[in-house]
Amino acid sequence: MISIIMPAHNAEAHIQAAIDSVLAQSWTDFELLILDDCSTDETVALVQAYTDPRIRLYILEENLGAAGTRNYGIRQATGRYIAFLDSDDCWKPKKLELQRAFMQENKAALSYTAYDVMSPDGERITGHVEVPESVTYRYLLRNTIIGCLTVMIDTKQTGLVQMPIFKGAEDTATWLSILKKGHVAKGLTEPLALYRKGNASLSSNKFQMAKHIWQVYRKSQNMSVFTALTHFPFYLWNGLVKHLRTGGSVKLVK
pLDDT tens for 61-74 read: 999 999 999 999 99
Domain-located, residue 33: yes
Per-residue confidence (pLDDT) for residue 247, from 0 to 100: 61
Domain-located, residue 244: no
- State how far Cα 64 lies from the chain centre: 17
Domain-located, residue 245: no
Cα 150 from Cα 116, distance rounded (Å): 11
Residues near 171 by beta carbon (within 8 Å), at least 6 away in sequence: 84, 146, 148, 151, 163
Each residue of 79-95: b (16+ CB within 10 Å) or e?
eebbbbbbbbbbbbeeb
Residues near 21 by beta carbon (within 8 Å), at least 6 away in sequence: 85, 90, 91, 92, 93, 194
Per-residue confidence (pLDDT) for residue 64, from 0 to 100: 94
The 8 Å CB, 24+ separation contacts for 99-102 are 99/152, 99/188, 99/192, 100/2, 100/27, 100/152, 102/186, 102/188
Per-residue confidence (pLDDT) for residue 253, from 0 to 100: 36
- State how far Cα 101 lies from the chain centre: 20
Domain-located, residue 205: no
pLDDT tens for 6-51 read: 999 999 999 999 999 999 999 999 999 999 999 999 999 999 999 9
Domain-located, residue 181: yes
Q: Which residues pair with 29 in a beta bridge?
A: none
pLDDT tens for 145-159 read: 999 999 999 999 999
pLDDT tens for 206-223 read: 778 888 888 888 888 888
By CB neighbour count within 10 A (0-12 exposed, 13-18 middle, 19+ buried), where does 181 fall? exposed
Per-residue confidence (pLDDT) for residue 204, from 0 to 100: 45
pLDDT tens for 77-106 read: 999 999 999 999 999 999 999 999 999 999
Domain-located, residue 215: no
Per-residue confidence (pLDDT) for residue 212, from 0 to 100: 84
Domain-located, residue 252: no
Res 245 pLDDT > 70: no
Which domain, by its residues, includes 28? 2-198
pTM, rounded to two decimals: 0.90
pLDDT tier for residue 200 given thresholds of 50, 70 and 90: very low
Number of domains in the chain: 1
Q: What is the DSSP letter of 219?
A: I
Following DSSP, what letter does each residue of 144-163 receive, concatenated?
A: ----GGG-EEEHHHH-S---
- CATH code, 158: 3.90.550.10
Per-residue confidence (pLDDT) for residue 243, from 0 to 100: 67
